[in-house]
Amino acid sequence: MEFAVIQTGGKQYTISKGDIITIEKLSDEHKEGDSVVFDKVLLVDDGKDTTIGTPFISKASVKGTITKIGRAAKITVVHYKQKSRYFKKNGHRQPFVKVKIDSLK
């Protein structure tokens, strides 16, 4: 089974064809249905041999299609110090993009 390791959004993802991955928000100009190309490929394994980049593999790319753009569930961030009347409460929703992997080259 063919798979690759790509880097995007400061993180690394192990992917293969047909996978749906949730990654950090890419940028504001992308919409649902757009195709994206990831060119920061760190490793490619086609079942027979493995190619490892230093740090990236030139001429290797991964193509995908954006299926959903949204924001994750809200998390609550609380800062509290006892006996000093210090209490801060904030909420945060992390934006994400779901990408369906179409091809590895």
- For the stretch 42-83, pLDDT in tens is 999 988 888 898 889 988 999 999 999 999 999 999 999 999
pLDDT tens for 86-99 read: 999 999 999 999 99
Closest CA to 94 of 70, 77, 76, 78: 70
Closest CA to 105 of 11, 13, 15: 15
